[in-house]
Amino acid sequence: MGQDFYGQKLKRFLTDVALGFTPGKVWDGKYEATGGYLIVKKDGDIICYHIYDNSQFEDYIFYNTRLETPSSTRHKFGNIYEEIGQFHIDLNLQIRFNK
């Protein structure tokens, strides 16, 4: 498995997050957006991706976002804990658009 495999998986993850995948509910794989996506850039320009431009949208979101880890002490994550005889760890990841 090369970089293309992981890059494609990350593009799919970012697209899923942008279009409906949230931590508060079980993901059914269905996007909340239908038909297309609008992106308003910082300078006010509007980019429209139609559903058939999915690979272009994936490329845009892949190259224009970054992954960050917030403060583990402030957001209280990263510690191992036991619950009903099983060990767990809460993780936290933020996805931000590049400036």
Please write the tens of the pLDDT for every residue from 2-57.
668 999 999 999 989 988 888 888 989 888 877 777 888 888 898 888 777 788 88
The partner residues of 47 in beta bridges, in order of sequence, read 39
Same domain, 36 and 84: no
Same domain, 71 and 40: no
Domain count, the chain: 2
Residue 1 — pLDDT band, cuts 50, 70, 90?
Answer: low
Same domain, 13 and 52: yes
Q: 92: which 2 tokens?
A: 């936290």
Same domain, 77 and 58: no
Q: How far is 64 from 41, CA to CA, in rounded Å?
A: 11
Same domain, 85 and 49: no
State the residue range of the domain holding 75: 66-99
Q: What is the pTM of this model?
A: 0.71
